[in-house]
Amino acid sequence: MQWIAPASPDTEGVLARSLGLDPAYDDGAVYIDPREGVLFDKAEIDALYDASAELERLCLELVERIVADEDYARFGLSDLAARMVAQSWRQGQRNLIGRFDLAYVPGSPPKLIEYNAETPVLLVEAATFQAAWQQRHFPDDLQWNEIEARLGAAWGAMGLARLPVHLAGGAGDGDAALTLDLLAKCAEAAGFATKRLDIEAIGWDGEKFLDGDDAPIRTLFKLYPWSWMLADAFGAHMEDAEILTIEPAWKMLLADKRMLAALWEMFPNHPNLLQASLEPSDIGGPAVAKPALGRNGEGVKLFANGLDAAQTGGDTEPADARDGPVVLQAMAPLGKLGSTQLLASTWMVASQPAGLALRGADGELVGSRARFIPHIVR
């Protein structure tokens, strides 16, 4: 793993902008820097691939165990949520996409930091931008990036009726709009008609969900967490409506960071896991505290000298009470190039490893202000 630079970098961010991506944050800080990339060798990619496949296997075993034991209380699920998790799992409802965040230092096993199992971001950057970057600057090299091709195949294998696939997200969310555009493109490549809508435009007529044109919604891909949806006024109707939702309700278990503690209980000392618990006394040494349902690094706190010592990094704001209890996890070193810490994120499509995305930051926490960094394989 090492830095690699294009011979003629796109210093104006033209490529990113052509794909609808902003190469800078609102304050001008770099988000996508076309002057840098990371070069991996095949053995490093194999390690990330194998770890991702193994972690997905562990996660599916966890869901099976939770449903079999009806152990929903540990995730704080309502009776409705628990019934929907069980129903969707027992019906074999298929999942489409997720993203593992991994601590990876070459030569050591990748370690699971968390699973963005329900509404993952970075899809367009990973699937589209870095593919175009590689083709422009390093056409003779490879990249671990089968995301778009696998998405098309996954849509085709979901066994959906030939009805329109509705794809919904929050109004005014530009990143979500780009993600839904890409997912719609892949669904259309698999032969499905698609229709976009604002999540707030979904209605209920007493028997079924309707879109903004009063057409019935039968298959819904949503960039909206299940925990939010079930808390909404129409959430109570989800159980009885004839609607197939992607991601399926069983993904609620994997989108909750309490799964990290449950995995450690099931598979203690697994080489791809970090010790995790809801009890501070269980974690000795450097630790991370994060809300169970937190997003984008909100509420994450770092304790480099142990939980009994002062916070050394992360979010200075208190966690939102709505994000559930705090999960404690042993801190793992990230890969580092110079002063940049790298977070390796592997994309899963239909539970199969499909590609790699990298984010980098100076400091201990690679959070919501990190840089997206493309890669190649040689």
Q: What local confidence, expressed as pLDDT, does residue 173 receive?
A: 75
- How far apart CA 51 and CA 100 sit, in angstroms, is 10
Q: What local confidence, expressed as pLDDT, does residue 187 receive?
A: 96
Tell me how far the alpha carbon of residue 114 is from its chain's centroid: 9
* Residue 236: count of CB within 10 angstroms of its CB: 11
With a cut of 70, say whether residue 179 has pLDDT above it.
yes
With a cut of 80, say whether residue 286 has pLDDT above it.
yes
Q: Average per-residue pLDDT in the chain?
A: 93
104: which DSSP letter? -
Predicted confidence band at 175 (pLDDT cuts at 50, 70, 90)? confident
Higher model confidence: residue 200 or residue 58?
58
Predicted confidence band at 59 (pLDDT cuts at 50, 70, 90)? very high
Q: What local confidence, expressed as pLDDT, does residue 315 receive?
A: 75
- How far apart CA 81 and CA 65 sit, in angstroms, is 17
Predicted confidence band at 167 (pLDDT cuts at 50, 70, 90)? very high
Percent of the chain with pLDDT over 70: 99
Question: What average pLDDT does the segment 123-134 reach?
Answer: 96
Predicted confidence band at 360 (pLDDT cuts at 50, 70, 90)? very high
Question: What average pLDDT does the segment 318-332 reach?
Answer: 85
With a cut of 90, say whether residue 296 has pLDDT above it.
no
Q: At 133, phi and psi to the nearest 5?
A: -60, -45
232: which DSSP letter? S
Query: CB within 8 A of 330, min separation 6: which ones?
Result: 274, 275, 276, 283, 285, 286, 287, 288
Decide: 188 and 158 in contact? Cβ < 8 Å: no
What global pTM score does this model have? 0.95
Query: CB within 8 A of 64, min separation 6: which ones?
Result: 89
* Residue 209: count of CB within 10 angstroms of its CB: 20
Q: What local confidence, expressed as pLDDT, does residue 9 receive?
A: 85
Counts for the chain of helices (H) and strands (E), in that order: 10, 20
Q: CA angle, corner 259, sides to 253 and 261, nearest 5?
A: 160
